[in-house]
Amino acid sequence: MATVSAETAVRARGISRPWRLLAAALLAGALLVGLGVGPVGIGVTGIVESALSHLPFLHVHSPLGSVQEAVLWQIRAPRVVLAAIVGGMLAIAGSSYQGVFHNPLADPYLLGVAAGSGLGATLAIAYGHVGTSGALLPVAAFVGGLTAVAAAYVLGRSAGSVRAAGALVLAGLTVTLFFTAVQTFVQQQHTNTLRDVYSWLLGGFSTATWKDVAVAAPYIGVSSLVILLHRRVLDVLSVGDEEASSLGVNVARLRLLIVLAATAGTAAAVAVSGLIAFVGIIVPHTIRLLVSTSYRAVVPLSLVVGAAFLVLTDVLARTVVSPGELPIGVVTAFFGAPFFAVVLRTSRSMR
Amino acid sequence: MIELRELAIGFDGTEAVRGVSLEVAADEWTMLIGPNGAGKTSVLRALCGLIPYEGDAYLGGREVRALGRRELARLVAFVPQNPVTPPELTVAEYVLLGRTPHLGYLASEGRHDRQAAARALERLDLLPFVERSLGSLSGGELQRAVLARALAQEASILLLDEPTTSLDLGRQQQVLELVDALRGDGLTVVSTMHDLTLAGQYADRLVLLDRGAIVAEGPPVEVLSPANLAAYYGASVRVVSDEEGTFVVPVRR
């Protein structure tokens, strides 16, 4: 009989305590930096005490003036919170697309999901008159995103075996180019209604409001929860479709469910923040490199680290050319494209 | 334990397997032999629900099609010819994957599952390796890890597709001895087998398939006749038989 010590040794690596603490500290630090940095500087104690003063029963008095209070809670806080949930969503979506497609290069942007969501949202604004922050916008974006990922998957499959990483990305790129062309056409037809669409497409949080947060949060919350609950099953998929199936996993249903969840969350993220590339590549792969390749670690950490990453990237976007602002998509692409090249090189040996 | 009636499997209009009827008793080790493309692997894949088939396939009295995927996985463990072994997984993590059919859909492994995995690891002498990554194992150790994962499934039927390919002679014998020993624990084994000399020594019963149909069936000494091997493999062999088994020796034409 196996001894007790053997049984305790037989377990899956999760996330070790130091990494948990580090990830939590990173997110907390990123939020404080995001709230504190700007033309009106606000110190850490100011932020913390002001936050506590908004909680009942604590009787903490905010040290901030009314202008600072307004800047902090009506301008910066929604921006930071939106960047956090969008970043977490894009990272967790990237990690789950990578899992279900057995493809290290899968990313919501590269699969065409972002372009599809963008087109869906644009069509809704142009023809459906839903407004740029309507509650129906994520639904339109979802339909567009789902169309794109389905098209990319079918095209990628017919171009090469499912495991050929490059085929799927090329298919995603094809879909992206086509959807972008349609997008440009629609924009040209409706120059008046779509005045702001161009800047929205580049991605950014400069106009973020609590309303945007309220529109995106439910979708992102449910999607992340669904993906989080499947983190162990995603590990089973690492032995391939056939063996996962012989272990009792309904692979087709699982893939559909995860793609639906990741796409719904991505669509909501795109609807409120535009097209932001490479978060879904940078964050999960950094975690795989540093912590563990198990989805039990990659999925939850992607959510937390992705949030921190995009908040910090947004700080960079609004400070480097201050008082102007860089589109955040430009910043993520600046770091993401070289990173992608590295993943591309190493993924050759992974297969 | 296993009963096939007029099993037929088709791919894109061609019949890979036709009219295969077969019974395998509990604790028996049956080997499917035959030339390349005879349909050996297809039979195994149909038995674990990976490909559709016509006819009937019963496992422990229940039709494969009527079983849910998880139910089926608790009854049959399948080891493919070239299993996917992600190099960064630890042996413990890999063997725990075998517990998947016993876990609730979204649950994670409990004490009982870790015990089952530990038993499988101990049975295959892998306890010193639990924290090693699959990528660091030798071919023989890797094959044992794959068997341990199948064992952790605690299924009563074990299907092995060419369990000895890519192993050297000594490791081939080790693996077959192990499977033979596991059979003593109440496991019914069906495997495909390329190497007829090994097949002649380890199988209780051989089933010779050619172009999708059973052409000979019975104890090794009957099936491995020079006439059969000439007719279906186009091979020229001498067969030596003694109390230790049946030995097939290729002879130069």
Alpha helices in A160-294 (DSSP H): 165-189, 197-202, 210-229, 231-236, 241-246, 251-273, 279-290
Which candidate in B127, B151, B185 is best for mutational testing of the A interface (most A CBs within 10 A)?
Answer: B127
Taking an 8 Å cut-off on Cβ atoms, the answer to whether A235 and B101 are in contact is no
Q: Do B122 and B147 meet the contact criterion of CB atoms below 8 Å apart?
A: no
Helix, strand and coil in chain A, % to nearest 5: 75, 0, 25
* Inside any domain, residue A202: yes
Question: What confidence score (pLDDT) does residue B171 get?
Answer: 85
Q: Which domain holds residue B85?
A: 2-250
- Going by C-alpha positions, the residue among A118, A259, A109, A265 that lies closest to residue A172 is A109
Question: What confidence score (pLDDT) does residue B129 get?
Answer: 92
Question: What confidence score (pLDDT) does residue A350 get?
Answer: 46
The shortest C-alpha distance from B162 to chain A (Å) reads 16
Question: What confidence score (pLDDT) does residue A46 get?
Answer: 87
A2 band by pLDDT with thresholds 50, 70 and 90: very low
Which candidate in B64, B93, B134 is best for mutational testing of the A interface (most A CBs within 10 A)?
Answer: B93
Which candidate in B91, B108, B159 is best for mutational testing of the A interface (most A CBs within 10 A)?
Answer: B108
Question: What confidence score (pLDDT) does residue A348 get?
Answer: 57
| Angle of the B169-183 helix axis to the B139-152 helix axis, nearest 10 | 20
**Average pLDDT for B103-131:** 88
CATH of the domain at A115: 1.10.3470.10
**Average pLDDT for B181-193:** 89
CA A229 to CA B77: how far, in whole Å? 26
DSSP A66-77: HHHHHIIIIIIH
* Inside any domain, residue A46: no
For A276-288, letters b (16+ CB in 10 Å) and e give bbbbbbbbbbbbb
CA B32 to CA A300: how far, in whole Å? 46
**Average pLDDT for A316-333:** 87
Taking an 8 Å cut-off on Cβ atoms, the answer to whether B92 and A240 are in contact is no
* Inside any domain, residue A26: no
Q: Which domain holds residue A118?
A: 62-350
A229–chain B Cβ distance below 8 A for any pair: yes
pLDDT, one tens digit per residue, over A209-249 is 898 899 899 999 999 999 999 999 999 999 988 999 999 99
The shortest C-alpha distance from A225 to chain B (Å) reads 12
Cβ-based contacts of B52 with chain A (< 8 Å): none
Nearest to B118 among A7, A246, A248 (CB): A7
The shortest C-alpha distance from A350 to chain B (Å) reads 9
Query: Which residues touch B180 (CB under 8 Å, ≥6 apart)?
Result: B29, B202
Question: What confidence score (pLDDT) does residue A132 get?
Answer: 60
* Inside any domain, residue A27: no
**Average pLDDT for A99-126:** 86
CA A329 to CA A313: how far, in whole Å? 9
Instruction: Report which DSSP code applies to B132.
Output: S
* Inside any domain, residue A268: yes
Please provide the average confidence, as pLDDT, over all residues in chain B. 91
pLDDT, one tens digit per residue, over B208-224 is 999 999 999 999 999 99
pLDDT, one tens digit per residue, over A155-206 is 887 766 545 667 888 888 899 999 989 988 888 887 776 666 666 666 678 8
Residue in B closest to A292 by C-alpha:
B88
Q: Do A297 and A173 meet the contact criterion of CB atoms below 8 Å apart?
A: no
Cβ-based contacts of A6 with chain B (< 8 Å): 118, 121-122, 127, 130
The residues facing B108 across adjacent strands are none
Cβ-based contacts of B121 with chain A (< 8 Å): 2, 6, 10
How many domains, in total, are found in chain A?
Answer: 1
Question: What confidence score (pLDDT) does residue A351 get?
Answer: 41
pLDDT, one tens digit per residue, over A330-344 is 899 888 888 888 887
Cβ-based contacts of B130 with chain A (< 8 Å): 6, 9-10
How many domains, in total, are found in chain B?
Answer: 1
Query: Which residues touch A226 (CB under 8 Å, ≥6 apart)?
Result: A257, A258, A261
Other residues' Cβ atoms within 10 Å of the Cβ of residue B180 = 15
pLDDT over 80 (residue B172): yes
**Average pLDDT for B77-86:** 93
- Going by C-alpha positions, the residue among A88, A115, A43, A134 that lies closest to residue A265 is A88
CA A49 to CA A81: how far, in whole Å? 18
Nearest to A246 among B48, B86, B114 (CB): B48
Question: What confidence score (pLDDT) does residue A133 get?
Answer: 59
The shortest C-alpha distance from A242 to chain B (Å) reads 7
* Inside any domain, residue A21: no
* Inside any domain, residue A77: yes
Taking an 8 Å cut-off on Cβ atoms, the answer to whether B92 and A8 are in contact is no
For B45-83, letters b (16+ CB in 10 Å) and e give bbbbbbbebebebebeeeebeebebbebbbbbbbbbeeb
pLDDT, one tens digit per residue, over A36-94 is 888 888 888 888 888 888 887 777 888 888 888 888 888 899 999 999 999 999 999 99
Out of A153-157, A159-163, A273-277, A312-316, pick the least confident: A159-163
pLDDT over 60 (residue B252): yes
* Inside any domain, residue A258: yes
Taking an 8 Å cut-off on Cβ atoms, the answer to whether A246 and B98 are in contact is no
More confident residue, B43 or A129: B43
Which tokens sit at B224?
């491995």
For A144-172, letters b (16+ CB in 10 Å) and e give bbbbbbebbbebbeeeeeeebbebbbbbb
